Every structure is written in C-alpha cells, then in structure tokens.
Structure 1
Amino acid sequence: MENTQHKVLEIMFPLGLLLLLLLLLKFSPAIANEQEPAAVGLRNMDDEQSSLQTYIVFTKKPEAAGANSLQHEDLNAWYQSFLPTATSSNHQPQIVHTYRNVVTGFAARLTPEQVKAMEGKEGFLSAQAERMLALQTTHTPYFLGLTKNRGWELWKNESNYGKGVIIGVVDTGIWPDHPSFGDEGVPPAPDKWKGKCELNGTVCNNKLIGARNCIHGDANTLSPYEVGHGTHTSSTAAGNFVKDANAYGNANGTAVGMAPHAHLAIYKVCSIEGCNSSDMLAGLDAAVEDGVDVISMSIVYYHNDYIPFHEDAIALGAFGATQKGILVSCSAGNIGPEHKTLSNEAPWILTVGASTIDRTIKATARLRNGAEFGGESVYQPKDFLPVLLPLIYAGSNGNRSSAFCKDGSLRNMDVKGKIVLCETGGPVSIIAQGYEVRSAGGSAMIVINRKQDGYTTLAEDHVLPATHLDYASGLKIKAYINSTQNPKATILFRGTVIGESSSVAPAVPFFSSRGPSKASPGILKPDIIGPGVSILAAYPFPTDSNIARKKTSMFNILSGTSMSCPHLSGIAALLKSSHPYWSPAAIKSAIMTTADVVNHHGKPIVDEKRSPADVFAIGAGHVNPSKANNPGLIYDIQPDDYIPYLCGLNYTDKQVEIITQRTIKCSKVESIAETQLNYPSFSVVLGSESLSFTRTVTNVGEAKSTYNLEKFVPPGIGIIVRPEQIVFSEVNQKATYTVEFIPHSHKQIGEINPQSHTGKDSKRYAEGYLRWVSDKYSVRSPISIIFA
C-alpha cells in the first residue's frame, strides 16, 4: 500500500500538517484551552469582508401539509419566507443548509439586523450564531474480549460482526482506498439505505456505502476525502480485517474495528480550520435521512462553558436522531483531569470517556547511575545506539518557555549532541517539542509529565529518538541532574509489550474529561469509558514525524476520547445487529449496567494518579461488550419520556420545542426531577430532605428469573429500596422499584477536586451502587451523591 499513494494525498499534504496540529487533540490539555480557530469553514471573500455570519435559525414546523409529508421544495419555500430583504449587495442573506430530520430550521449567512427582523415572523423560534467545534486496532478487540480465542459470545461467529448495521461517522471525511475499508465478507447495503457516494473517481463498496461532504462552501473544491482523524475513527468503529498491520513495526497484528462487517457512511463536517455547528447539524440531518443505525461523533465544543441543551447543536441533532431510533455516541472531551470538564452531557447521548489498554510501545530512559524509567514512543529507530549521552534539563536556565521546549526557546542553549529533558503542559504539542530539540541540535528527548498528568504516558510518533515518562519518574531524573556535574542518559527501545504484570489497565488517563454534568447535574456523566490511549488504526498519511524521516505508514497510533468514542459506536452496532429492536436507550443501558469496575487484576479501576477512579471519571465503568450483549435487565427510555425531564430543567415551552420539534406546554406536562428519568445510573443532589425516585426495568434475559438487591451505601446517607426482590415470569416483562435517599451525617465524605473547585463551587460528594443479581445476571447502577 505504501507504493500506491494518490495525487490527492500530495495535494493535501501541507494541509494535513495543520489538521494534525489543530484537530487531533493528541496534545496537552493546555492547548485545547488556548488554541482558537482563525476562521470558520471555507467562505467566499465577499462574506469575509461583510458583517454576515452564519446563524442556525429554528422554526416551528409548518402546519399546512403536515411537516413529515412536506417535500424538500415546500420546506425550502417555508424557510425562504423567513429571509429579510438585503440592505446592500454585500448583505444578501443566503441559506447554506436546510434541516428536516434532526431539527426544524436552516442555517443562513445573515447580519445581526436581519436576524432581528426575523424575530417577529410567525413560526420563528430562535436564531443562534453557530459555534466552533473541535475534534477530540490491533489489540483492543482482544483486550475487550471480542476475539474468538478469548471464548466470548459476541464474535463467536461471523454473524456477530455487525452485519446489516450502518454506522454514520460524522467527522473529517475518509481515505476510501485504505485496506481497512475493503468489503470482503461484507454483504450489500440494506434496502433502507438512501445515501450516496460523493467520492470523485472512487466507487464506494459494500463496506463504505456512502460518503458526503456537508461543509458549506465551494462544492467543486470540497469532497469527503480525508486522510487523518476521520479515517482513524471510522476504522476503529468498523474497519475490516487487515493482517500484518503496524506502526513502523510496532503494535503488529491484525487490525480490525469493533464491528468489522458493519457498513460505514461518512459525513464530512470538519475542515482543516475546525468544525462548524451548522455543518455538523447538516451531517446529522443527512445521516438520519440516509438511514443509518448508529452515529459516531468524536466532536466537542472548543470551550467547556455551560451550554443548555436548546443551544447545544450536538444535543439538538442527537435528540432528533434518537427520536428516529438512532443511537448517538460522542466523546466526553480531552480536558481532564479536573471535574466539570466534560462535553456532550445530554442523557440521550452515549458519552464516552477514555481508558488505557495493557499494551505499551516501550522506550526506557536509563541514567548513568543505572536507574531506569519506563516510558513510551511509537518511533523506535534501529540506528540509535544506546550509548550514554550528556543529559540537560531544558528549563535549567529558569525560562519556562525553555522548560516546555517551545519553538525557538532552545536557540541560546547548548543542547547539541545531548538528550534534552522537556516538560509537558506548555502551549506546544509533544511532537513540536521534538522539532525544537532537533532543530537546536539535540540528539534525543525525554518528555516528563506535569503533576496533574500523573502516570499517564502516550506512545507518540516522534521526530527524533524520544520517550514519554510519568511525573514521578520526571522528579527523579531532575533530582539526578541536580546531583551530578556530568549527568548522562540514553534511551533503550524495547518495542511492543503486552500484558505486563505492572499494568493497571484499564485506567483513566489524565486527559479524559470528568463529570459531574453542568447542564444536567441529575444525570451521571460520562456514561462509560473505553480504549482511548495509544490506539492503532487506519491513518495512511505522512504525519509531520513521517515527513521528517521520509517514511510513510498505513496505520498510526493516536490517543484521545476521539479514539474511545468509535470503540463504543462499533460495540453499539454489534448490539444493534444482535438485538435489532432494542431502542438507543436499551443499548445504552446494556452497555452501562454490565460495565466492569475493576481492572484485569481484579482491583478497582484507577485514575492518572493510581488512585481509585471516581464515578465522575468512569461513569458506569469500563465497557464489556460480551456481557452487554446479554444484560438480563434494561432501563428503557422512549423519546416522549424526555419531555417531562426537559420541562423539569425549567426550560421554556419555546426552548423545549426547539429540542423536540413539537409544540409543548410544560404547564400541562407532569414535569419530573432530572434523577427521575429512567436512567441506568443515579446522580442525586441531596440537601436536608429525603428524595425518592423510581426506576422501571425490563426483563430481556431468562423468562423465569428472580433478582435480589445488593447495594453499597455511601457514607453520610441512607438508601432504602422497595422492593428488594423482583420476580419475572416472562421475557419483556417490566417491574418498577423505588429508591429513597436519606441524608445523615456529612462526615467521612469525599471532596470534588478541592484544588480546582474552591469556595461556592466546592461540594462534597459520596458514591455507591445498587445491583440486581440473579443466578445468571448482575445488573449494576452506579450512584453519585452531591451534597447541596
């Protein structure tokens, strides 16, 4: 494959560098907070010189012909009727997207004055300036217990490979000629498929059944072609089997996605300059129109500000998809480890955090005194001799920019021929640090974590010999440098190591965003964690590291919740294939209630500090696909069940209508508290009064079965569950139980990250669980208690 590069690869080559730096988020969380896009989408020059900007305009559904029966032409005419008259030739309003599936409305280039003029028109609901969004394997199928040699259910035969299910990937596009998208063993697309293939000169196949560009701009220059992020996430979700896959000889094996015989439909909504909410909605709208079953979106907002659901384009589009029976899986975000940092908080979204796997691409730093410190690096040069070289700390001059090895910061330091010790945490990626070290004459680099990054290390594709070490190792190396006049070190490249006895996988990496939710504290988020650290998948593009070494690879290793999200999307597709009539909420419930809360050594899952991870880091726990396929009980939610929940958030009738696309009178709806939603977990904000909530479970296991209650009661409260035994006599039978939370003493209760949240925002919390156990099943619901 390395000899069959296409010309489009060459054309996109310089753009790809910017894509890598801006969009992949395989960098320090500090960058995610500091980088801002320079522009939005590909716009024409007239727009750039005027005051026009893109707004998403929400309208009521036209009543005349019944909204669902309207033709595109009728709906477009309805939307056109809202456009005001232009005030000048440069201010001509222009519709760039129309929506008919996930929301009712359109996106248009408008001036603020034109938006104001629309507000008085009959049928107008709201206009929101579009927001900027950001993009957030050979071993993971084995790690997750899917492969045949592990003896689990879900991959026991080819019928369990996701056949007949369509996964819509809303991302940056795809490189269609990659072997991961071959269609061997994949049946033709199902009859319900209505999509199309916009890949110029490339014919879609049974695996890649559709690809569309949804970025508004010059249609002649935009296509679904892409060679980075979207290709990686698509192959993770549903890539077909590719033997002898590796990244420069590391992580070698058969690369395969979670649902290898599912179909892929690609919706390009992100350009090299970022993702716009109007384009993202267009991608969701098209995916629903085309007939997908699962939607995978590794996209979050640039800023982690509170956004109510009626202003959150991802939440709005996902609700519209959910109403059509489509499960939407999204990244939790990459700006952990602080609490209250997650994105995609809506309860109808499957929100996915990241976990580590038990594979490392090992690169060990050895000091002159014999001490060794294990780290990671994808780049393992064969010609780097493990001889001791002078070792220098880049921050020894007292300059913090130098400590971070920022561009130009080492020019006045003597690093030639030396190993340079750099710190993470500055506004520069680890790869860019390597460029600075190399350009200044350094021979190799050791990167050490910040304190908050703890023990998480990433296998990066460096531009020179390097290794990434944890914080504790970094302190010891600094101490060594300060203790001797002639510090020296070397790096030993030891290749791929799997299942090391010291591995604590799965663990939560530092970057994985944490709850509790700001938009809805009564819903515990994230829902689940899945593999997101050092994930190998399709990436047939010369990264900046490859360019420096004049090498290419058909696969690359990336880290982020962008990688964990498609793992869950593919697993959801497997469950949909196995249980075609399960609702999105039922699939979510099966995934959550069967999740693992211990690592592969049977110990509690830990975080980046090697401390037990709390529920705001892991949600229900780590995904266990085969157990999810046979959960015993499920907590189901129908789309109409969200209406009392939304009214209970104190949204106005108009705000609820924007979300539901229906006229709603909350005064006539029996509103419910957030925690009353029939969710598979409990997130309780508890004051001085007791609170009581109900849950309804549906038996999807054995017809005649009895479940008994087990519970772990957090300190400081009491929990009473009635009844404590549930008996079923048939499949699909429902049963309801009540949980009462009783406040007692607040002593011996944990605290949410006191370093990050002080004063009014510092709230104490507790956590526990309740579990329904039968002879065959264990159905677990985590509990978080935040004391008001």
Structure 2
Amino acid sequence: MGRGGRVLLLAFVLFLTSHLTTPASAATKSCLLVLSDLTSWPALIAGVTNQYEQLYLFKEISAIGLQIDNSLFPALKQLPGVLAVIPDRLHKVQTTRSWEFLRLESGGEPKKEWKYDAKFGEGVVIGNVDTGVSPTSQSFRDDGFGAPSGWRGKCDSGEDSTFHCNKKLIGARFFNAGIQVPNFLDQPVEGKQLNQTDLNSPRDYDGHGSHTLSTAGGGFVQGASAFGRGKGTAKGGSPRARVASYKACYTAGCSSLDILAAILAAVEDGVHVLSLSVGAPAADYVADLMAIGTLYAVHKGVAVVASAGNSGPQPGSVSNLAPWILTVGASTMDRDFAADVVFGNSTIKGRSLSASTLPVGQPYPMISGQNACAADQSIDNSTLCFPGSLDPAKVRGKIVVCTRGVNGRVEKGLVVKQAGGIGMVLCNDAGGVDIIADPHLLPAVHCSYSQCWDLFKHLQSTQFPVGYITAKDELGVKPAPVMADFSSRGPNTITPQILKPDVTAPGVDVIAAYSEEAPATDLPFEDRRVPYNMVSGTSMSCPHVAGVAGLIKAKHPDWSPAMIKSAIMTTGESRVQQATELH
C-alpha cells in the first residue's frame, strides 16, 4: 500500500478506535492488531506475553492477525504504536431468467449493449470471497479463452490434488487460520462442524460459493435447470469475464480475519471486482474487518459489492454498511415455479420445485393426513405428516394432504413417500403466509391456507376424493420486482444519514451452478447431488450486481469504484415492472 493509502487507513482507525470494547471474560481469542509500524512488532508484544500465535501478517494495512488470550487486549492497547485491537467475529454466508428480467437479453438473445459494448465483461477479473468453487462445473469451462494478461494470482490446490484451475477460473485460494482458533466456534451447529477436507482445499463443499461466483461471472451453459425446472441457458452477468475464488467460509461459518486475508489477497492478485455474499451484524467500521479490508480494496481501485443480509423485514437489520461498499438487497423477478392441485371441478394454485409431476388428467385417490393416522399415533401428528404417523395401508398409492408446521416441509414429503404415498399437498396453517417452491422428493405442491379451504371441504364431503398435481414455469409474473420479505432493511444503524441498502437485485429463486460435493439441500436425509440449484437470499442478489459492475468495468476500464457504484445506483429505478419496464 502506498504511503497515502496507509495514512488514510491509519487515520480512519484512529478516528474510530475509541468506540471499541473489550470482552470481559479471559479466553484464547483471535484479533487484528493494527500498528503504526510493523518493524519490531514481535519485541513489542513480548513486553506483554510470549504466549501467542501469529495467524496472518497484513503488510498492506500495517496489521497482524493474532491468536492470544483476550484478557491481554487492554494491555496490548496501551503499547506504544498500537492503534487498535479488533476482535475476530463470526460471519455467515448470506440463472436462467435473471438477465432477461434485467433487460440484458430479449427472447433469449443478448442485446448489443451486453454483447458488443460491454463484451460480456471480457478482460475483467471478478473475485468472490465465499465457500470456494467447484472447478468441474460447466459454468467455469474455459472454451475460447486465451491466457490472461497481468494476472498475479495463483491456483492453490492445498491438499486437493484433483483441483485444477483453467483459463476461465484463473485463481483459487483458501484461508483458514481464523476459523480454526480454539473456541472461535463456541457452539457449532450440528452437521456444520469443521472438517480437514473442507479446510485444506479451495473446493466448494457447501454449494454457496459456486452459486454466487457463477451468477457473477459464469459462462454460457445450455440446458441448465434446477430439478428439471427453469430450464434454459445459465450464465453470469459477465459471462466472458475471468473469475477467481477466495475461500474464507466453511460449512461452520467464516472468520472475519480469514475474510480480511482473502480480500487483501484478491486485491494483490489483480481482481477488478469483488463480490462478498457474507455478513455479520452491523458494527462500527473500525471493528468491522470487512469494512477495513474493503476500504483498502476500493483505495486500490477494486469495486466492492456485498450482500445486505437476510434478517428482514426487521428495521435496521441491514449489514455491510460502510459507504464505500455497494450493498445489495434482494427482490423477486417475474418468474414463478407454479403448481396446481386439480380435484372435482376445482383447481387451487401453489408452488413447487418437484422434479416430477403426476400425469395430467390421470386422477389419484386423495386423503388428508388426519384421516391417514396410524393406530398408535395422534391425529395431531398425522395431520402434520410427522415421521411414523401415517398408516401405509391408508396412504399407499394416494396423494396425502399435510399441514405445515413442526417438521420440515420437504421432510413431510419424505414421510408420505416412505408410507407409500405418490404425492403431497402441503397446506399452510392459519398463521402461515408464504408458500415455498421446495425441491420435494415426490410430486408435491405448497398452497396457502385460504386456497386449501376448498380442498379440505372436498375431502370431507366426498366419499372417494381423487385429484392430480401439475406444475409449470410461469414467466411475466406481475408485479415484479417485489422486495423479498427476508431481505434486510434500513435504516443504517451506524451512519443513519447514509441510506442502505444501496440497490436491490434478483435474489429469490435464482438458478445457478452448484457444487456436486454438497447435498442439494440442508436436510439431514438429503442424498441428491445437482450441478445447478435454485437458492434465495441477498447472497444471490449481490453477485448479480457484481456481474453488472464487471460489464461497466469492461466498457469503462478507467472508471473508479465510486463511479461504477454511482452509475449503478443512479440508473436504477424504484417502480415495479407492470408491462415491459425494468426498475
């Protein structure tokens, strides 16, 4: 970092450092030690203790990542030349239709502005800090790519001898020192523990990183779909850009020290755009290592895009608030994965991502979970299609109507399938609002409480009720976009006068590449592996904007991050699409 940049960062730290607090209880913790001079830091710390471990040396920002007893934090702060002691924090990771909805293509054909003016992002390198990447995904083929020029990065395969980069996926690295500090993960979630295979490879064992990176810069892949739905040509916003993966997140979470290391490495490697679909609760900028790292990145000319978080609609829940970050909320697009239940003379509408449906016009017997109760189970359990609650003799060969609640939505379908059922209608209870397009294990449809009233009446009034389930992809759904309920909202709790999020982008039901090293869902019984998957979150909207930033950088290579951010914000609109407009 040049002298001017370092002075800028140190001034920033000095201005805000008085707001930091120190944990009261003593334990071995990781932290960032920011110094005015790195020359003699070992001797400086030796005046306090010799019991520490160096995790990272950040020459770019004159700082060190340490593992040390946090009871010593106050003593470290008093040492001459120490500007700040910043505790590490846990962060979490927050398509075939998106780009037509965003008017970059029409009728499946790219518009000239996308193809010729911005050249699909050719010449740009997009970096992604996430859970890694699947190098075998078709989205990262290097067909037609030449050797990159000016690239300073590397492909660090770690202990994974089968991992290889190419002329499209030109870089892959991983950072794991912070996540492995004892007690950093005080209470790991079951099934999300650290494992050495994941820790020592840039490969994606979660699916999140492959999805986000392919959304930003994945190449053209024809015939992509999620469980057979939404079939089309998958591509990122900058499909001719090169991409680099910086793995700092694992199935158990992300260390902010590892994220900082990844950001600084990406800048030094030569990326032009950084996509960060990770976040933590808002904190003062000086206590937010992502804010510090991205300030350095922007100062070096790298445009930074980050997710707003998935804690909506709670006011003030937005994260990644630093004004130099382009913060992205999530909204819908005009596609829906619709499904219908046809019975008697009625049809009720719902949603589903089931890979199969029942033959149209071929009715099947229907039964409610309440009436399918096993002899040793309560009706309350069978109504919910709870494991073991259904009588196979009553269910076999039938469509079962289950009520939402307690156990998982897809799990209910598994219960029906194990009991011999051939389909499921999932009905919201009175308190349910949203209906979800889940990748069910059998033909299924999720319907609202009001829609299901007619179905329950039919089941009660008909001696031998029959029906069938159909599904179809609907395009041109109105209104769109609509803010996703989960998308974190403002106001900005750190700097209220600066509005956040900055923009919104498609983040609901987004189809993109996935890692076949990871199960298709988080369900404990999941054994399916898919090359493309449908996921929702501000993690999905963030790389959409990163892809657009790549296009602008390709067309205007001399533009600064602030100019790119301004161009995106000032050309967006706030009205919903009613006809052919995008807003």
User: With structure 1 as the length reference, what TM-score do the two structures score?
Assistant: 0.60
1:390 aligns with 367
1:422 is matched with 403
Match of 1:203 among 164, 185, 196: 164
| Matches for 1:597-612 after TM superposition, within 5 Å | 597-602=574-579
Contact kept, 8 Å, 2:351 with 2:435, in 1: the verdict is: yes
Q: Which residue of 1 aligns with 2:212?
A: 233
Counterpart in 2 of 1:53?
28
Deviation digits for residues 128-174 of structure 1 (CA, Å, limit 9, x no counterpart): 33221111112212221112656744313285211111111000000
1:523 is aligned to 498
Contact 2:174/2:201 (<8 A) preserved: yes
The equivalent of 2:271 in structure 1 is 292
Residue 86 (structure 2) aligns with: 128
On the 8 A contact 1:458/1:559 being kept in 2, the answer is no
| Alignment: residue pair count | 527
In structure 1, what is the Cα distance between the partners aligned to 2:384 and 2:56? 43
Q: In structure 1, what is the Cα distance between the partners aligned to 2:419 and 2:485?
A: 30
Q: Say if 2:87 is the partner of 1:106.
A: no
**SS of residue in 1 equivalent to 2:56:** strand
* Residue in structure 1 matching 2:326, options 347, 350, 361: 350
Distance 1:518 1:365, change over 3 A: farther
Give the percent of matched residue pairs that are identical in Structure 1 and Structure 2: 35
Change (3 A) 1:505 1:448: farther
- Structure 2 distance, partners of 1:522, 1:462, is 45
Distance 1:363 1:490 in 2: 13
> 2:520 touches 2:530 (CA, 8 Å); kept in 1?
no
- Structure 2 CA distance for aligned equivalents of residues 543 and 358 of structure 1: 28
| Amino acid of the structure 2 residue aligned with 1:271 | Y
For each residue in 1:664-715, what CA deviation from the matched residue of structure 2 results, as whole angstroms up to 9, or x when unmatched? xxxxxxxxxxxxxxxxxxxxxxxxxxxxxxxxxxxxxxxxxxxxxxxxxxxx
Confirm whether residue 535 of structure 1 aligns to residue 510 of structure 2. Answer: yes
Pair 1:143-2:101 in alignment: yes
Instruction: Give the aligned residue type for 1:167.
Output: I
Q: Distance in 1 between matches of 2:288 and 2:442?
A: 42
Q: Which residue of 1 aligns with 2:439?
A: 461
Please provide the CA RMSD for this pair.
Answer: 3.6
Q: Amino acid of the residue matched to residue 504 of structure 1? A: P
Secondary structure in 1 matching 2:121: coil
Question: Taking structure 2 as the reference length, what is the TM-score of the superposition?
Answer: 0.80
Indicate the larger mover: 282-291 or 199-208: 199-208
Contact in 2 for aligned 1:390/1:486 (Cα 8 Å)? no
Q: What is the alpha-carbon distance in structure 2 between the residues aligned to residue 188 and residue 290 of structure 1?
A: 15
Matched, 1:508 2:508: no
The answer to whether residue 83 in structure 2 is matched with residue 82 in structure 1 is no
Partner of 1:660: none
- What are the ranges of 5 or more consecutive residues in structure 2 without an aligned counterpart? 1-24, 181-195
1:563-582 alignment runs, 5 A limit = 563-582=540-559
Q: 2:298 aligns with which of 312, 322, 326?
A: 322
- Aligned pairs for 1:196-275 (under 5 A) are 196-199=154-157, 200-216=161-177, 217=180, 222-227=200-205, 228-275=207-254
Deviation at 1:321, TM superposition (A): 1.4
In the alignment, the residues of structure 2 paired with residue 471 and residue 331 of structure 1 have an alpha-carbon distance, to the nearest angstrom, of 32
The question of whether the paired residues in 1 share the 8 Å contact of 2:356 and 2:443 is answered with: yes
Structure 2 contact 297–303 (Cα < 8 Å) conserved: yes
Aligned partners of 2:297, 2:73: CA distance in 1, in Å? 27
Are the aligned partners of 2:114 and 2:120 in contact in 1 as well (CA < 8 Å)?
yes
Deviation at 1:85, TM superposition (A): 6.0
Query: Quick one: which amino acid aligns to residue 208 of structure 1?
Result: L
How far apart, CA to CA, are the structure 2 residues paired with 1:573 and 1:400?
53
Instruction: Look up the equivalent residue of 1:376 and give its one-letter code.
Output: S
Q: CA deviation at 1:327?
A: 1.5
Whether the 8 Å CA contact 2:32–2:257 is kept in 1: the answer is no
Equivalent residues of 2:175, 2:262 under 8 A apart:
yes
Q: Cα–Cα, structure 1 residues 441 and 163, in superposed 2: closer, same or farther, change >3 Å?
A: same
Distance 1:587 1:206 in 2: 26
What are the superposed Cα offsets for residues 196-218 of structure 1, whole Å, 9 maximum, x if unpaired? Answer: 10123443222111000111257
Which of 1 and 2 has higher RCO (CA within 8 Å, sep 6+)? 2
Mapping 1:472-511, distance limit 5 Å? 472-473=450-451, 476=453, 480=457, 484=461, 490-499=467-476, 502-511=477-486
Q: Is the 1:364–1:376 contact (alpha carbons within 8 Å) kept by the matching residues of 2?
A: no
Counterpart contact for 1:365–1:489, Cα < 8 Å: no
Range moving further from structure 2, 224-233 or 121-130 = 121-130
Among residues 49, 53, 56, which one is paired with 1:97 in the alignment? 56
Aligned letter for 1:524?
L
Query: Aligned residue for 1:36?
Result: none
TM-superposed deviation, 1:439? 5.1
Q: Secondary structure at the match of 2:364?
A: coil
Aligned match of 1:779:
none
Task: Indicate conservation of the 8 Å contact 2:32/2:88, yes or no.
Answer: no
**Are positions 1:168 and 2:127 aligned together?**
yes
Identify if the C-alpha distance between structure 1 residues 259 and 517 changes in structure 2 by more than 3 Å, giving closer, same or farther: same
CA distance in 1, matches of 2:344, 2:316: 43
Cα drift, residue 268 of structure 1: 0.5
SS at match of 1:174: coil
Specify every segment of 5 or more residues in structure 1 that has no aligned partner in the other structure, as ranges. 1-49, 63-73, 605-621, 624-788
